[in-house]
Amino acid sequence: MIGPRHLLRIQCIGCVARFLGTPVQRLILPAGTHLQTPGSQHNYGQLLRPLHCSAVCSTSRPSQTRLEKTVEDETLNKDKSLVTHDDLFERAARDSKTKADFNRVVDVFNKKDIRRRGHVEFIYAALKKMPQFGVERDIAVYNKLLDVFPKEVFVPRNFIQRMFNHYPRQQECGVQLLEQMENYGIMPNVETKVLLAQIFGEKSHPMRKYQRIMYWFPKFKHANPFPVPHVLLSDPVELARFSLTRIADDLDAKITIYQYPSTDITETGEEVMRPHILGIQSPDQRSLLAKHNPCRPVFVEGPFPLWLRKTCVHYYLLRADPIPPEEKVEEEFDPEMIGPEQSLFYPQRVELDLERDMGDDFSFDVDNVEEGPVYAMCMAGQGDQATLSQWISGLQETCPILGQIPTVFRLESGPRELQTSSDAQQTPEQEVEMEQIIEEEPLHSQRVKQ
């Protein structure tokens, strides 16, 4: 990134400008930054803009003229409607909604009017539409949106302006943009800072917001010891592998792929889907299973949900009821071998009639709930009994005792198929929920600001 250098340069300009007062800017800037046209004072920000916009693609498309026209229409009708910019996005990208489309809309808006009339409304509308275009996690897009603000105009120039809330609506809009970034967990970068400094000045509300985000975000970046990637693996086998290792938090646990997904064509010409079956079992579980009393049944239960961000996957358990106390066998050791006075293997107990002193007993009184052992876990492409019994027969290879134990399938009629991430994201309920969250944000951020 060349950001830091920009920042430095711009800050220098800022300093000089502050010292010398506005009229001088025109004299200094062209020389200092090699800008082509010394424009009006209002143009100051725009002159610098190419620096920041360079990364953003501004491809001209055949539809551009049409779009520009719509935009012009919109500006003409501006007084009539408040939600015009929403429509702009809708109309601009009826068929496809991609990052490029989004950028195009922003470009068009930028080019349409040198004064950027209605930019606050536009930014609000754009923020709202971001999830639909799938750009809500893209820092470049946020920066591009921020770039819509005219530069230098909202920077307070004297102490009175600085004292009062200078251009409150614009500042609030800037805060709102940062707030949305925050909610999606996007960390602003140096470019964001440069833009904010240009737009609102060093001590504005958005700058403060930026600083707060930069204080807390790095601190919390690794707060979750079990991170889930934003983009999940698309291969169901790999996804199942990831999910199973996540649940079975045992480094010794081994994943076995009992069946890869495949499609067979039978003699009659039918296509038969063979779902994937992945199981996980740790050595401890295996030895527990080997000790299982064959008279007691084991259960295959499920599906149980596991949420990975917005994706839900399902897994199945092989478990048994807790061992009744009368059947528990205490493993006996030869007292000669573990007792005192032996140096071959160190003494593992001393024969004393003394308990630990209360002052040195830091253990908690924990009421342990006895649960039955879980012997193995699996994830499969299908949750029917036939598929799962394939898993059980696969397990028998390592645990032959399983062949003698009655296996009971207790399957609930849950979702039988694995939900992919795209399925999950497009369920209407969730989308509504998400929008609600975003809509609530302005209130929330106002509260925080005060």
Partner 1 sequence: MNLNKLIVLSRSVKLGRNVFAARDCLHHFQSRRSIRSSARSLAYAKDLFLGKVNKAEVFPYPEISNEELEEINQLVQPVEKFFNEDVDSMKIDHEAVIPPETLNGLKELGLFGIQIPEEYGGLGLSNTMYARLGEITSLDGAIAVTLAAHQAIGLKGILIAGNDAQKAKYLPKLATGENVAAFCLTEPGSGSDAASIQTRATLTEDGKHFLLNGTKFWISNGGWADIMTVFARTEVVDKDGQKKDKITAFIVERAFGGVTSGKPEDKLGIRGSNTCEVTFEDTKVPIENVIGEVGGGFKVAMNILNNGRFSMGSAGAGMIKRLIELTSEYACTRKQFNRSLSEFGMIQDKFATMTLNAFVMESMAYLTAGMMDRPGVPDCSLEAAMVKVFSSEGSWICVSEALQVLGGLGFTKNYPYERYLRDCRILQIFEGTNEILRMYIALTGMQYAGKILTGKIKELKKGNVGVVFEILGKKLKDSVVRTVDFGLTGKDGVVHPSLTESAKMFEQNAAHFGSTVESLLYRYGKTIVEEQLVLKKVADVLINLYAMTAVLSRSSRSISIGLRNHDHEVLLTNTFCKDAHFKNNYLLTQLQKNSPENNDANIKKIAQDVLAKRAYICSHPLDRTF
In the three-class reduction of DSSP (H, G, I as helix; E, B as strand; rest coil), residue 2 is classed as coil
Of 24 and 338, CB closest to partner 1: 338
Of 32 and 340, CB closest to partner 1: 340
Cβ(322)–Cβ(433) below 8 Å: no
Of 340 and 400, CB closest to partner 1: 340
Stretch that binds partner 1, among 44-52, 145-153, 165-173, 332-340 (CB under 8 A): 332-340
The reply on whether position 352 binds partner 1 by CB under 8 A is yes
> Residue from 19, 164, 346, 364 that binds partner 1 (CB under 8 A)?
346
Of 163 and 366, CB closest to partner 1: 366
Q: Which of 447, 441, 435 is nearest to 131 (CA)?
A: 435
Stretch that binds partner 1, among 5-13, 276-284, 350-358, 388-396 (CB under 8 A): 350-358
> Residue from 70, 118, 217, 312 that binds partner 1 (CB under 8 A)?
217
Tell me how many degrees the CA angle 104-109-113 measures, rounded to the nearest 5: 145
Q: Which of 370, 386, 242, 388 is nearest to 303 (CA)?
A: 388
What is the DSSP track for 166-194? Answer: SSHHHHHHHHHHHHHHHHTTPPP-HHHHH
- Give residues 177-206 in contact with partner 1 (rule: CB under 8 A): 187, 189
Q: Which of 356, 272, 279 is nearest to 317 (CA)?
A: 279
Of 42 and 291, CB closest to partner 1: 291
Stretch that binds partner 1, among 268-276, 337-345, 419-427, 430-438 (CB under 8 A): 337-345
> Residue from 19, 159, 226, 345 that binds partner 1 (CB under 8 A)?
345
What are the b/e assignments for 161-184, b being 16+ CB within 10 Å?
eeeeebbeebbbbbbbbbbbbbeb
Tell me how many degrees the CA angle 413-264-381 measures, rounded to the nearest 5: 30
CB of 126 to partner 1, least distance (A): 25
Euclidean distance between CA atoms 430 and 297, whole angstroms: 40
The single-letter DSSP state of residue 154 is T
- Give residues 221-280 in contact with partner 1 (rule: CB under 8 A): 221-222, 251
> Residue from 270, 334, 370, 429 that binds partner 1 (CB under 8 A)?
334
CB of 294 to partner 1, least distance (A): 23
Question: What are the angstrom distances between the C-alpha of 100 and each of 58, 104, 135, 140?
Answer: 9, 6, 10, 12
Of 94 and 222, CB closest to partner 1: 222
Euclidean distance between CA atoms 450 and 447, whole angstroms: 6
> Residue from 20, 41, 333, 404 that binds partner 1 (CB under 8 A)?
333
Q: Which residues bind partner 1 (CB under 8 A)?
A: 187, 189, 214, 217-218, 221-222, 251, 333-334, 336-338, 340-357, 359-360
